[in-house]
Structure formats: C-alpha cells, structure tokens
Structure 1
Amino acid sequence: MSRFAAVRLSHFLPSLALLGGAVATASLPGLNEFFTSLFNVLPTLLLLLGGLFCLVYGRQRELFLLVVLYLGYFILDTHADHYRESGRVRDDTALVFHLCSLLLPLLYGLYAAWQERTHLVQDLIARAAVLLAVGAVAVGLAQRYPDALLHWVSVVRWPALHGVWMSLVQLAYPLFALAFLLLLVQYLRAPRPLHAAQLLGLLGVLWVLPQVFTQVHALHVMCSMVMLMLVAAVAHEAYQMAFRDELTGLPGRRALNERLQRLGRNYVIAMADVDHFKKFNDTHGHDVGDQVLRLVASRLRKIGGGGKAYRYGGEEFTMVFPGKTIEECLPHLEVVRQAVESYQLQLRDKQQRPQNDKQGRQRRGQSGAAQVSVTISIGVAERDHERSSTEQVIKAADQALYSAKSAGRNCVRSHGQKRGAVKLAGQR
C-alpha cells in the first residue's frame, strides 16, 4: 500500500474552514460589540478549557502548543493595545515583535513534532523546562543587550533572497519554512486530523504576525481560531479512538451501539465471521491475522444496499441495513461474500512486500509466494413481531451465523432458513 493512501482531504476540512473564517473575519473593517468581546476572552477560555481537556487526556503536545500560542498572543496584544491607545509604540516593541516572529515558529514546530513517549509527569517537566529555558535566554538577552540583539535579528543576511513583500525579519521565514516542512513530513508519515490542524495552524500564525498592528482584530481572531483548531482536532481524534476501530478503520462496537439506538421499525442485521481465523493466527502469525481482518473489512466497507459495516469484536463484523428486508439484503451479502472469497492473499516476507498497489497487482498470481484464501460466513436476521428489539435481532443473526458455520462455512444463511438450502449460488 502507498504511504500516501491514508492522506485524506477530510483531515484538513474542519481546520481549513476555521482558518478561512478567521482570515475573512479578521479582514473586516470592524466587528460589533458582541464579537469584539467574544474574541477578547476566547483565547483565555480556550487556554483554560482546552488546556484542561488536553491535560486530562494526556495530550502534552497540544497543551504546550496552546501555551506557546497564548504567550505570543498575550505579549503581542499588550504592545498592540499600547500602540492603539497612545498612538505610538513602546521603546522595546520592535525587539519584542521580532523575537516573537522567531520564537513562535521555533517553539510551535518543536512542540508539534515532539511525540509523547515518556511518563506524563516527566514529559510535562521536560517540555516546561525547554519553554522556560528558551524564554529565560530571550528575556535575559533582550534586557542586557537590547540594541545588539535587535540588530542581530533584523539584519538582512541574504540580500539576494530578500523581497519587498517580507513583512517580518528575514530570519523568520527560514524558521517558518523549516517548521512547515517538519510538520508536513509528520503528516505524510502519519496522516491524522491533528497533524493537519498543526500544519494549518502554523500558516495561520504566519498570516497574522504582519497584521498585528495594522488590523485591529486580526490577532484576537486568528489566535482564537488556531487554538480552536487544535482543541477541535484533539476532540475529533478522541471521538475516533472511541468510535472507530484502529486496525480495520471500520466503526467500532460503540459506534454500532449508537446506531442501533436510532434504527426505525424495519431493519436487517447481519453478523459475519472469518472462517478458521484461529488457524490463520496459529499457522502464519498475528501479522497475517491482522492482514486478514483488514482484507475482510475493506470488502465489507463496500457493502451495497444501504448497509454499513462495523467491527463487532475479534474476527466478527456486523452489517446494518436500515429500512430493508432480508430479501433485499441477501444479494448484497452474497456479493460481499464472493468478493472476500475471490481475493488471494499473498504471504511474503516483509522485505518482499510491494511498495504500492500497482506492484501488488503485478505480483498477485505470480509464483514464489504462498497464497491463502479467506472466506467468511454470514448470518442475517430482520426485525419482525417476534424480534422487536435490536438485541433480539442480533441474537437471531448470531444463531444464523452458527448455522452457516455448521453448514460448512463460506455461505450466507438467514434466520429460520431450512437446513436443506444452506449455500447460495456461486459457492465453491
């Protein structure tokens, strides 16, 4: 499988919507009193509530990203307020602004790429120590050598690369580019909504810095939206962890329970089980067993007839068909059973595995690699006057599944089906 196969536009859409809304709102000539008050307090609320949420769930990366963003917001907002109230900047504003332009991408990229690998308390202490050390060095140099430091950060080091469009010190752009490249590689290696939010959040920081003193609400709005991006991405991933099976990518047992509560009066439930799954694990190892589960899940995901597949647990899957009858669902179940049966799973050493789908299709069917066939048995039942609850329908589908197993496996069997008509057409 290609390493880019897991990249999804959906990972970026929520953050893109927030980023676009922030740019549009910040570009308005003025905001009414309600929104002005809202964006004045929103960064602080997001730091407190979002930071507590991240801390409870052990998301140290996002916690310190929020802290870094809030510190930058607070410092710049203090200087911007002084400028708007007095009509002139403070003596140290230029140095503070340039240092923020350098330290924000540096710390943002560092914390966004710093994985949680150690004990929670140790990790928190390490991240806090880095923040305090960098902050202490910056404050100490700014107080002791303000003029020399201002000259050092603002000097144009590469005249050939300098452009009139640059609103920040030249040194800030390589730091933003380095942080962006680091976060882009992180997303491509592990495509996740959170990594996408971090990437777009960095672009938001780059956009807002030149607007701090020229657009009244830009800093409040953009910092609020970037912090909201991160908190929303953490919540999104927490939802996925709770409701989606990590191995197969299908919705999990909790998502199934939620769906069962919202079914109408007519529906069909099918239970599918991988035949001889223990044999796969015992003979070929758990890695092959995981491949089998992913294969079956990929076929069940394409079930037609308005059905949706869930991982029930272990090697067992559930398919739900709202508003359908068994007669309407049986052809679709047979199609998915045949799709699993017709796929020849190639067993290769890790070093010989294809690098992408094209190589996999070319090698499929070639000699030199062991092949195994995967089959599934399916039991199906529908709601009627005898089975009025979802628990009863699932139990009936389970009984039909055991009947399919007893009948020789690799078949679809409905609840109450006579023993003489076990296998459907097309079965081996």
Structure 2
Amino acid sequence: MSRLSALRPSHFLPSLLLLLAGLAAAYVRDLNVFFTSLFNVLPTLVLLLGGAYCAVYRRQRELFLMVTVYIVYYLLDTQTDFYRDTGKVRDDAAVVFHLCCLLLPLLYGLFGVWEERTHLFQDLVARFAVLLAVGGVALALEQSFPAALLDALAQIHWPMLHGHWMSLIQLAYPMFFIAFVALIVQYVRRPRPLHAAQLVGLIGLFWMLPKTFILPFTLNILCSQVMLMIAAAVAHEAYQMAFRDELTGLPGRRALNERMQRLGRNYVLAMTDVDHFKKFNDTHGHDVGDQVLRLVASKLSKVTGGGRAYRYGGEEFAVVFAGKTLDECQPHLDMIRELIANYKIQLRDPERPRDDQQGRMRRAGAGASHVSVTVSIGVAERLIDHRTAEEVLKSADQALYNAKGAGRNCVVAFAPNRRGAIRNKASA
C-alpha cells in the first residue's frame, strides 16, 4: 500500500469542524454573561482535561503541544486583560507579542515532529529542558535588553519579501512556513489523525495571532479549539487502535462484533479465507504473507453491492451485507473471488536497490517473480432459525469449511441440513 493511498479526509474532518466552529464563535461580538464566563475558563479547562488524558495514556508529544499553546495563551491573555481593564497596552506588550509570534511556530513545529523514541521519563525531561531553555533565554533577553530585542524582532530583514498584508513580524512567517512544511512531510510519510490535527491547529494559530487584539475572545476560543483538536486526535487514534486492523487497514473484529449487534432482520454474512496461506508463508516468508493479506484486504474493501469488509483474524476476513439477500450478494462475492485469483503478486526482492530506477532495471533484466493467491468464501443468509448474528456467522464459517472441501477458490452458500451449495467455482 502506497503512502498516498493512506491519506484520508477523515483524518482532517474533526479538526476542521472544530476550527470552523472556533472561527464562527470568534466573530460573534455580542455574547451573554454565560458564554463570556465560559470562554474565560475554557482554555484552562481544556488543558486540565486534555492534559490529564494525554498524561494517563503517556502521549507526551501531545501534552507538550497543548502546554505550548497554553503558555502563549496565558502570556497574551495577560496583555488583553490589561488592555480591557485600563484601555491601554502594557509597556512590554509589543515585545511579548512578537516573541510569541516567533516562538509559537518554532516550539509547536518542534514538538509536533518530535516523536517518542527513548525512555518515557528521559523523553519527558528532554522536552521539558527544551521548553525551559527556550523560555528562559527569551525571558532573559526580554528582561535585560527589551529595547534591543524589540528592534531586532520588528526589523524588516528582507524588504523584497515584505508585503503590506503582513500583520506579524517578518521573522514569524518563515517560522510558520518551516513548521507547516515539516508537519506536511510528517503527515505524508505517516498519515495519522494526530498529524492532520497538528496541521489544522497550526493554521488556526496562524489565523489567531493577528486577531488577538482585534476580535474579543479570539485568543481564548482558538487556543481552546487547537488543544481540543489535539485531544480529539488522541481519542481518534485510540479508537483506530481498538477497532481498525493495523496491517490491512480494515475494521477489526471488535468493529465487526459491534456491527453485528446493529443489523436488522435481513442480512448476509460471508467468511473469506486465503487458500494455503500457511504453506505460502512457509515458502515465501512472513513479509510476503503480509503483502498477500494487504492485497486481499484491498480487494475486499472494494466489494460492491453494499458490502463492508472486516479483518476477522489471521488469514480470515468477514464481509457484511445489510438488508440484502443471498441471491443479491452472490455475484459481488464471486466477482471479488475472481478478481483476487486473477491478480499477479510481484514478489519483492529483500535486497532490492533503494533507487526506484535501478529497481525497475533489475526487474526488467532478470524477470520479476510473480505468484497468485486464491480465496475461499462461505456465505450465509439470516434464516428464521437464526436467533443471533453470531449464529449466522457460524453458518458462514461452516459454508467456508465446505468451500475448502470442495476444492477451494469458490463461493459456497450455507444450506440447512446439507453440506452447502457451491454457488460459483473457478474453471480448471
């Protein structure tokens, strides 16, 4: 499976919805006392709940992303509160704001791409040391050389690249650009809901900073939304780990069990098994075996007729057709069986060159090695004597056993009081 094929809009959907909700709320000017009070405590509440959630599940990268966003929120909220109370800005408002604009994308991008690779405690100490060092240096410069620091931050270093639309210091834009590119590369290399949430969160922070002193409660709302995106991404990934098979990308057995509890009166269940898979593994190795499972899963995921494929376990897969009859489902199952049987799997050379062009030249010169794989399918329709979906699944499993006995590479339908009816079989 290519990396691009693993990119999914669903990774971005929760974060985009939160971002749109935050943007809509930020433009509401007349708020009642309830929402005003809520927005005042919302960032702290989100940090406490989301931070505790990340800490319990040892998601330190996400925890430090939230802490980084909250520190910027606290520093800027102090400035906005002073402005609302007195009608004027504090003496250090400009330098604090510019430092936040510079360091926020730096730390956000750094913690975003910094994966946990060492001992958890060592990783925690390292992240805290980086945060403390950057914050300490910034605080020391702000306290010792405020005027010089402000001049250096506000200076236009590249006049040719400066535009009138830029409302932040010029140094902030390359920082945001570098962080954005780094997070895009990370998502393309490893598509995950967390990496998608980091990207959307960075966009929200980029939009928020120029509006901090213009739109009331923009700072509170957007910082809360970004932290919620990160916490929601952690929950999203936890759901995927529990309900989606990592190897094939299909929903797993737990997802199948939940789906079977919601089926109506009419449905069809099919069990699919890769023929001679153990022998195939022993001959070609487990890496090729995993390649076969991914191939079968990829084909099954495209089953037509309203079917939904699941990884049942090992080399077995299940397909659920809700609201269908056996006669309606059989052609779609046989189409998938035939599609898998006719597909030639190109075996990967474990010593293949890293360069794609050299790999293609070697395959063209030496001749690529191909193998075929077939599947057997047992299918059962819910009958009157089936009380539960588990009984229908057992009937499909019995039909699968009959398909194995009938010579494999065929679709066998469960028939009560009979061994089963062979619906379709590949010609010899």
1:399 aligns with 2:398: yes
CA pair 16-401 structure 1, distance change in 2 beyond 3 A: same
1:308 aligns with 2:315: no
Contact map agreement 1:256 1:310 (CA 8 A) in 2: yes
Contact map agreement 1:180 1:202 (CA 8 A) in 2: yes
1:192 aligns with 2:181: no
Distance 1:9 1:124 in 2: 32
Deviations 1:207-238 (A, max 9, x none): 11111111111111111111111111111111
TM-aligned CA deviation for residue 3 of structure 1: 3.6
Partner of 1:379: 378
CA pair 256-386 structure 1, distance change in 2 beyond 3 A: same
TM-aligned CA deviation for residue 328 of structure 1: 2.2
CA pair 366-28 structure 1, distance change in 2 beyond 3 A: farther
1:286 aligns with 2:312: no
1:9 aligns with 2:9: yes
Local SS of the residue matching 2:89: coil
Counterpart of 1:376, as a letter, is: V
Contact map agreement 1:40 1:220 (CA 8 A) in 2: yes
Please list every run of at least 4 consecutive aligned residues from structure 1 whose deviation after the TM superposition is greater than 4 angstroms: 352-356, 363-367, 417-421
TM-aligned CA deviation for residue 61 of structure 1: 0.9
TM-aligned CA deviation for residue 290 of structure 1: 0.8
TM-aligned CA deviation for residue 352 of structure 1: 6.5
In the comparison of the two structures, how many residue pairs are matched?
A: 425
Contact map agreement 1:274 1:375 (CA 8 A) in 2: yes
Deviations 1:309-364 (A, max 9, x none): 100001000111222222222222111111111111111325369969xx99xx99
Map 1:208-357 onto structure 2 (within 5 A): 208-349=208-349, 351=352
Contact map agreement 1:153 1:169 (CA 8 A) in 2: yes
CA pair 153-353 structure 1, distance change in 2 beyond 3 A: closer
Counterpart of 1:401, as a letter, is: L
Local SS of the residue matching 2:346: strand
Partner of 1:71: 71
Higher mean C-alpha displacement, 394-403 vs 12-21: 12-21
Local SS of the residue matching 2:4: coil
Of all paired residues, the percent bearing the same amino acid is: 65
CA pair 254-385 structure 1, distance change in 2 beyond 3 A: same
Local SS of the residue matching 2:384: coil
Distance 2:246 2:193 in 1: 14
Q: Note the residue ranges of structure 1 that are not aligned, 5 or more in a row.
A: none
Partner of 1:408: 407
Distance 2:203 2:364 in 1: 47
Q: Note the residue ranges of structure 2 that are not aligned, 5 or more in a row.
A: none
Distance 1:90 1:353 in 2: 58
Distance 1:237 1:256 in 2: 18
Distance 1:394 1:405 in 2: 17
TM-score relative to the length of structure 2: 0.93
Contact map agreement 2:72 2:104 (CA 8 A) in 1: yes
Local SS of the residue matching 2:6: coil
Partner of 1:47: 47
1:132 aligns with 2:141: no
Deviations 1:395-428 (A, max 9, x none): 2211111111112111111223756954625433
Distance 2:276 2:135 in 1: 60
TM-aligned CA deviation for residue 382 of structure 1: 2.2
